[in-house]
Structure 1
Amino acid sequence: MTAILVLFGLLVGLGGLGALLDEGREPASGTTEPTRTSTAQPSDTPRPDAPTHTTKPPVEPSDVLPGTPTTKPSPPPAAPPRVVVLRIIDGDTLEVRGDGRILPKDDVARVRLLGIDTPERGACFADDATARTTALLPPGSRIRAQRDVELVDRYDRHLLYVWNAQGTFVNESLVRSGHAEAVLHPPNDKHWTRLSAAEAAARQAGAGQWSACPGQPESPVAPRESPAPKAPARPGLPDGPPAGAPDVDCSDLPGPVRVGPDDPHRLDRDGDGIGCETD
């Protein structure tokens, strides 16, 4: 009996040892180890349902092929045409070439600076006024012109306010510097407030003719008795322009004229009753 128990124990021990040996063996070549599949996907692999975004690199100048149309900036608008100064006749009169706006295009026209009057040729400060106007409006320069109610007077002169290439209001500048006085001829009064204020300032400062020319009145002269009219030295002369008419110069008249005792247009230099005499 004892021998049988010992034999049984040996058999059991040998079976456990065989199981241990089987676990340490590699699987036979004909068997396949099951493969585990991971559900995680690499971070750089796009998901099938994820939207795809494509970013185009910026185009460098070198990337543009020759002949490829490109957008160019619009050119600046053309400068508006301007009146061209041809010559200065005297302090308040000039000749210009029109620009097709106020004045007919390319037509030569005579312009009378509106709202002012400079000394007549041969009178005190006349040459200074002409020189000043020439400096403000040199021949060949371009100017901006503005009209008032009446554009042309009876002498076919265009009545205008003008600004030079530097933007200076020439009519006002001549009055403020004492080279001209302000003269109102209704209904052309668009800039009368400025012109009359400029004359008041010039008189107070003694600018230009207000100190250089003796006998310039500081204020309007009180009415006085008119002297007996002189017998005209040259019978048959036409009458000069009356008071209240647009101011004229001798260059606007065909020749000598009879003037009244007040000589509203300052045409009579020697006080003999005849204006615009030639020496």
Structure 2
Amino acid sequence: MLGLLVAFGGLGALREEPDRKSATSETAPSSVPATEPLTSAAPQPSVPSEPRDVTSQPGTSPPTPSTPPTTKPPPDTTPPGAVVLRVIDGDTIQVRGDGRIVPKGTVARVRLLEIDTPERGACFADAATARTTELLPPGSSVRIQRDAELTDRYDRYLLYVWNEQGTFVNEALAGSGHAEDVLFPPNDKYWPVISQAEDTARQTVAGLWAACPETTKPSAPDTPTRPDLPDGPPVGVPDVDCSDLPGPVWVGPEDPHRLDRDGDGIGCDTN
């Protein structure tokens, strides 16, 4: 009997051994030995990153400078310019002052500096007046600039004029052949510009250079009789038109302002 019990006990032990091995294999991880502890990776020393050049990166903007450059002028707070009231002829207009050069509200005649257009009734005079009216229509505002001498003996303002579109009218009239250049020192600020414009008009035979071929002025009498008339404008005065004078004047054979169209020594005596 005792032998049978021992035999059964050994058999039971043999049957339990595989069960324990199976349980052990299910609980132990397959990739890490059960006897070795898990360790974390050692921290890597931090390496300072190189500064990026943001201007070379697409889609980025350069850093804002401490003092940003001005991209546009500040708003213009000055009052509106002088207003054109009428065009007298190709080189003379009438304006109402805005208070900067011409007193505010003052109605004044303005003689465009450094140019001369044909006299009323002369060749191309009407075309010159029409072109000035096109550039300076009545009611429009103008920007005006003075030179060394502001007015002449006839109380005209001697000025450079820009229209609302920014066109330098003095230069434009010379450049299109509607005016000749004429210099009366010391007002010579834009003489190089205006004289160059006239040279171009001459070379291209524009405007009056094509329409008005040169003619020989009739000879004055050998001993002209001096009529009882006031003297005309002297040499050196900024160019004068007949519209600036009250009536006929004596200009003699020289006629520096080209007021005598028939060569008799009397200026502004014809209509």
TM-score (norm 2): 0.69
Task: Note the alpha carbon deviations across 1:35-66, whole angstroms, 9 max, x for none.
Answer: xxxxxxxxxxxxxxxxxxxxxxxxxxxxxxxx
What is residue 255 of structure 1 aligned with on the other side?
A: 247
Q: Report deviation, 1:182.
A: 0.6
Does structure 1 residue 175 correspond to structure 2 residue 174? yes
Closer/same/farther in 2, CA of residues 236 and 141 from structure 1, 3 Å limit: same
Matches within 5 A, 1:56-205: 78=77, 80-205=79-204
Per-residue CA deviation, residues 7-52 of structure 1 (Å, 9 max, x unaligned), is xxxxxxxxxxxxxxxxxxxxxxxxxxxxxxxxxxxxxxxxxxxxxx
Question: What is the CA deviation profile of residues 232-257 of structure 1, one whole-angstrom value per residue up to 9, with x for unaligned ones?
Answer: 4xx21011112221110011111100
- Displacement of 1:79 in angstroms is 5.1
Q: Give the residue type in structure 1 aligned to 2:153.
A: R
Aligned to 2:225: 231
- Cα contact 1:113–1:162 (8 A) shared by 2: yes
- Secondary structure of 1:237's aligned partner: coil
Q: 2-side partners of 1:85 and 1:216: how far apart?
A: 35
The alignment-based identity, stated in percent, is 72
How far, CA to CA, are the matches of 1:163 and 1:86 in structure 2?
A: 15
Residues 165 and 270 of structure 1: CA distance in aligned 2, closer, same or farther (over 3 Å): same
For residues 192 and 75 of structure 2, what CA distance do their matches in structure 1 show? 37
Q: Which residue of 1 aligns with 2:262?
A: 270
Cα separation, partners in 2 of 1:77 and 1:144, compared to 1, 3 Å: closer
SS of equivalent to 1:203: helix
* Offset of residue 214 of structure 1: 1.8
Moved over 3 A (4+): 75-80
Deviation at residue 163 of structure 1 after TM alignment: 0.2
Partner amino acid, structure 1, of 2:165: Q
* Structure 1 unaligned residues grouped into runs of 5+: 1-74, 218-224
**Alpha-carbon deviation of 1:261?**
1.3
Aligned length: 196
Residue 216 of structure 1 and its aligned partner are, at CA, apart by 6.4
Q: Conserved in 1, the CA contact under 8 Å of 2:79 and 2:98?
A: no
Partner SS state of residue 149, structure 1: strand
Moved more, 258-267 or 193-202: 258-267
Q: Give the root-mean-square deviation of aligned CA atoms.
A: 1.9
Please, what TM-score do these two structures have when normalized by structure 1?
A: 0.67
Deviations 1:172-219 (A, max 9, x none): 0000001001100000000000011111111111010111002169xx
Aligned equivalents of 1:149 and 1:266: distance in 2? 25
Residue 214 of structure 1 aligns to a residue whose secondary structure is coil
Structure number with bigger Rg: 1
Q: Which amino acid aligns with 1:149?
A: A
How far apart in 1 are the matches of 2:181 and 2:241?
A: 15
Q: CA deviation at 1:76?
A: 5.5
Tell me the residue number matched to 2:238: 246
Q: Secondary structure at the match of 1:202?
A: helix
What is the SS of the residue equivalent to 1:109? strand
Whole-angstrom CA distance in 2 between matches of 1:134 and 1:77: 27
Is contact 1:210–1:216 with CA below 8 Å preserved after alignment?
Answer: no
Distance 1:171 1:76, change over 3 A: closer
SS of 2:160's partner is strand
